Structures are given as structure tokens and as C-alpha cells.
Amino acid sequence: MVPTTRVLAALAFTAAVPALVLGWLWLAGRVEGRLPRVVPWLWLAPALLPVGVFLAWPLANTVWLSLRDGGLDNYRYLATSAEVHTALRNNLLWLVLLTGGCLLVGLVVAVLTDKVRYEAVAKAAVVLPTAIPFVAGAVIWRFMYQYRPPGLPQTGTLNAVLTAAGAGPVAWLVDTRTNNAALIGVGVWMTAGFATVILSAALKAVPPELHEAARIDGAGAWQAFRHVTLPELRPAIVVTATLVAVSAFKAFDIVYVMTNGNYRTDVIANLMYRQLFVDQDYGRASAIAVLLTLLAAPILVVNARATRGSLR
């Protein structure tokens, strides 16, 4: 049985919210004539308040924590620690390879399937993995990458193929030459569908007259793609690239499940998780969070600009 107090609270809430909104509107109407400069802020307040409470305040608090627990030592740790440098290097790899890989796959699939009959099926094959949680995807790929010493039957799909072709098995996740690429490959598999959807939609919005005109002017297929399609897709590409780039900085699940950052595959988010939950070092964890925010900020600026541009 639901307690009466909870029923009363629900009723009060249902009544209070419309009352609050109406009151706000009334207040704004009253103010409008007398204090015109205050009015925009009145309209913005309902949006600014949650942003302040849920975004600005935690951000400020994180900066404060990074300075309070350990002070500048936390930032000295960021500057001098080998594990931070490895993680930063790996995040750079993620940034370049994940973004590049997703755009490439997305663009190729979108263009190639654009005018074929089985477009839906072909795109579904690429988009389907985006429906799988990252952790589940990582577990699946652990089986794909499984390694057993030469001579034993290979249980991992990739190594089974390699050995069937006569090559030796590769310890994908342990070998430092392959492991970062192997992890990022899983990321591409799981994110490329997202890029495909956006780019494919943008492709369909390119006016056919442009292509017709280009053809009449004597452009070949490649020239039409290079000089008509690509420029038209540019805003969509920039938006997709920035969104994928931000997710590259946030990479966590795949690394956590597949290598836990061992064998030089650590990334910033994993480092933060360990400092926070295992080492319980709030200062260092906050300093890493600040660094992560600073790194992602420029990308978000580009994203915001591109979004505005495509709306125009």
C-alpha cells in the first residue's frame, strides 16, 4: 500500500508545478514593461538553473577537490607520471583511429548502399552493433581475440582464421603492437553504425539537381563525389566527427573489460576510475577529470559551431 503522505506529496506536486509556471509567466509579464533588461534572464532562468545545479556546480566542485586534496601535487602527478602519459598517448590513438575509422566506415557504407535495393539490410548489418551495450560487445570480442599457444586448437575466431591460413596465432590483447588497435577496432565496430545513420541521412538530403548539373558539365563519378557530395556532407561529417571524438575521450568499458588497462592500453577514464574507486584518491581523480574536460572542451566548441552552421 502506498503511504498517504506520498499520495499527498504527489498531489501537491501536481498542483504546484502548473501554479509555479503560471506564476512565473505572470511575473515576467509584470516585469516586462518596467525592467526590460531583466526579462531575458527571467526566461533563461528555468534552463540555467538545472545547468547550474547539474553541470556548473559539479564542475566547480571537481576543480575545488582537485586543489584541496593534495593541491598542486595532483597536477604534478598529471605532468610527470608515466601512467598518465601512456593513457594520454592511448587516448590520442583512440581519438584519431576511432574517429577516422567510424567516419570511413560510415561514409563508405552510406555511399555504397545509397541506391541499391538491399540498402536496408546492408545498413542494418552495420547499425545493429550500436544496439549492443559496450560491455557485452567487449565480452564478445574477447572471444574473437582469444589466443592459445601455437600447436593447440585456436578457440578465438581471428586466430583460427590466421592459423588456417598458415600464419602463427597473435596474442591480440597482450602484444603491445596490436592491443590498442584491437581495442579501438571493437570501438569502431560498435560506433560506426551511428556515423552511418547520420551520414546516410545527410546524403539523402543532397539535392539531386546538383548531381545532374555536375554530370551535364562532364564530371565523372569520383569528381561528382569529391566536389559535390563531400562539400554538401561537410556539416554532417563535422558533427559526427566531434561526437565520436568526444566518445573517444570517454572510452572506458571496452578497455576495462578486455585488458583493464594492462599491457600499456590504459586510457584516461580508466585511470580516473582506479584513482577514484580503488585508490580513493579524490584529489588525483578530480585532477584527471579536469584534464578530461579541458581536452574535450575544444571538440565541443567545434561541434556547437558546426551544429549552428548546419541549422542555418
Partner 1 sequence: MRTRPLIATTAALLTTLAAGCGGTGGTTQAPPAQAADRLQAARDAATLAAGGEKLGGTLNLLGVLSGPQLDAYLGTFAPFEEATGIKIKYESTGDVFAVLQTRIAGGNPPDVVSNPSAGQVAQLAARGELVPLDGILNMAKARADYPAGLLELSTVDGELHGVFYNTAVQGLVWFDPKTYQGPKPPASWDELAAWAEKTSAAGTAPWCVGLESGPSSGWPGAVWIEEFVLQQAGPEVYTRWWKGELPWTAPEIRRAFERFGAIATDAAQVSGGPTAVLTTDFNSSPQGLFADPPACHLHVQADFLGNALAQTVPGVVPGTDIDFFPFPPVDPARAGSVEISGETLALLKDSPRGRAFMRYVATPEFSALVAGTGQWIAANRRTPLEAYTSVLSRRAAGVYADAKTVQYAAQNAMPLAMTQAFLKAVLAYVGKPSTLDAQLAGLERARAAAYKS
For partner 1, the binding residue among 205, 278, 294, 311 (CB under 8 A) is: 278
| Among the residue ranges 3-11, 38-46, 173-181, 304-312, the one whose residues contact partner 1 (CB under 8 A) | 173-181
For partner 1, the binding residue among 273, 288, 289, 306 (CB under 8 A) is: 273
Instruction: Tell me whether residue 148 or residue 250 sits nearer to partner 1 (CB atom).
Output: 148
Alpha carbon separation from 56 to 49, 52, 128, 217, 276 (Å, rounded): 10, 5, 36, 54, 20
Question: One symbol per residue from 203 to 242: x for binding partner 1 (CB under 8 A), - otherwise; what is it?
Answer: ----------------------------------------
Backbone angles phi, psi at 37, to 5 degrees: -75, -20
In angstroms, give the least distance from the CB of 173 to partner 1.
Answer: 7
Backbone angles phi, psi at 260, to 5 degrees: 55, 30
For partner 1, the binding residue among 13, 217, 277, 294 (CB under 8 A) is: 277
In angstroms, give the least distance from the CB of 49 to partner 1.
Answer: 24
The set of cell numbers assigned to 126 is 552495420
Instruction: Tell me whether residue 14 or residue 260 sits nearer to partner 1 (CB atom).
Output: 260
In angstroms, give the least distance from the CB of 94 to partner 1.
Answer: 20
The set of residues, in sequence order, having a beta carbon less than 8 Å from that of 264 and lying 6+ positions away, is 86, 90, 176, 179, 180
Interface with partner 1 (CB under 8 A), residue total 24
Per the listing, cell 574507486 goes with 277
Closest CA to 292 of 53, 70, 100, 87: 87
> Are 292 and 270 within 8 A, CB to CB?
no
- Residue by residue, DSSP assigns 186-240 as HHHHHHHHHHHHHHHHHHHTS-HHHHHHHHHTT--HHHHIIIIIHHHHHHHHHHH
| Among the residue ranges 33-41, 169-177, 189-197, 225-233, the one whose residues contact partner 1 (CB under 8 A) | 169-177
> Are 98 and 183 within 8 A, CB to CB?
no
Task: Please give the span between the terminal C-alpha atoms of the chain, in angstroms, as a whole number.
Answer: 54
Question: Binding of partner 1 at residue 14 (CB under 8 A)?
Answer: no
Question: One symbol per residue from 132 to 161: x for binding partner 1 (CB under 8 A), - otherwise; what is it?
Answer: --------------xxxx--x---------
Question: Binding of partner 1 at residue 5 (CB under 8 A)?
Answer: no
In angstroms, give the least distance from the CB of 84 to partner 1.
Answer: 13
In angstroms, give the least distance from the CB of 77 to partner 1.
Answer: 9
| Among the residue ranges 167-175, 213-221, 229-237, 303-311, the one whose residues contact partner 1 (CB under 8 A) | 167-175
Give the Cβ contact number of residue 3 at 10 Å: 8
Closest CA to 190 of 258, 157, 141: 141
Question: Binding of partner 1 at residue 42 (CB under 8 A)?
Answer: no
Footprint of partner 1 on 243-262 (CB under 8 A): 256-257, 260-262
Using CB under 8 A, list all residues that contact partner 1.
82, 146-149, 152, 171, 173-176, 256-257, 260-263, 273-274, 277-281
